């Protein structure tokens, strides 16, 4: 029996990396259910504008999550497929604190360990490239998959923050953090 190890890389996302699949993810209500993108309609132009804005920012960094895949026909043929995004936003330069947000775009890739690997890689990148000492992530209480991924990466629930949905009902949102 052979064990397949996932090979995942993070690569800074550029406008040329935006494809129709990426836009489909962002417009799929089930995929963006737990994000702040759930009430937005995305187009190629709007996503390009967003990526340009992030790439011109001094404190936000958007990375594509890419998985190495082999062709079923020719096992030797391999390529990296864009399967999601992870964003780092430095919230406090002086204290070296950042926030991450992430999305695995295709539901077929959920529960396969890709998010866990991507967060681990972003943690390493946060230390080596951005010299951060703490990272936090905010998720919705009902997003069990995201909570599991954070816990697997040793993030600890720190506190709750209040947020308002469109229906104006206040809910508590857990904040997870990792001191690195």
For residue range 82-106, list pLDDT tens digits in order.
999 999 999 999 999 999 999 999 8
For the residues 24-41, what does the mean pLDDT come to? 83
Give me 151's structure tokens.
């816990």
For the residues 36-41, what does the mean pLDDT come to? 78
Is residue 167 packed enough to be buried (19+ CB in 10 Å), middle (13-18) or exposed (0-12)? exposed
pLDDT at 73: 61
**Residues near 9 by Cβ (< 8 Å), separated by ≥ 6?**
65, 66, 68, 80, 121
Q: Is the pLDDT of residue 134 over 70?
A: yes
Q: What is the pTM of this model?
A: 0.86
Q: Is the pLDDT of residue 3 over 60?
A: no
Looking at every residue in the chain, the average pLDDT score rounds to 86
For the residues 50-61, what does the mean pLDDT come to? 96
pLDDT at 69: 76
The dihedral built from the CA positions of residue 8, 106, 167 and 39, taken in this order, carries a sign that is: positive
- Is CATH 3.30.420.40 the right assignment for the domain spanning 8-179? no
Of residues 53 and 40, more confidently modeled: 53
Q: Which pLDDT band holds residue 57 (cuts at 50, 70, 90)?
A: very high
């Amino acid at each position: 029996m052979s064990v397949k190890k996932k090979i995942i890389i993070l690569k800074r996302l550029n406008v040329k990396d935006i494809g129709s699949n990426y836009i489909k993810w962002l417009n799929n209500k089930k995929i963006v259910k737990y994000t702040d993108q759930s009430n937005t309609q995305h187009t190629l132009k709007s996503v390009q504008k967003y990526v340009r804005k992030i790439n011109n920012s001094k404190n936000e960094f958007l990375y594509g999550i890419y998985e190495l895949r082999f062709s079923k026909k020719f096992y030797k043929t391999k390529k990296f497929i864009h399967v999601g995004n992870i964003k780092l936003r430095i919230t406090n330069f002086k204290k070296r604190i950042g926030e991450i947000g992430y999305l695995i775009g295709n539901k077929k890739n959920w529960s396969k360990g890709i998010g866990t690997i991507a967060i681990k890689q972003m943690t390493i990148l946060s230390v080596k490239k951005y010299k951060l000492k703490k990272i936090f992530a905010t998720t919705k209480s009902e997003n069990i998959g995201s909570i599991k991924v954070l816990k697997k990466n040793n993030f600890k629930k720190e506190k709750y923050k209040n947020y308002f949905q469109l229906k104006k009902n206040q809910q508590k949102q857990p904040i997870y953090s990792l001191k690195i």
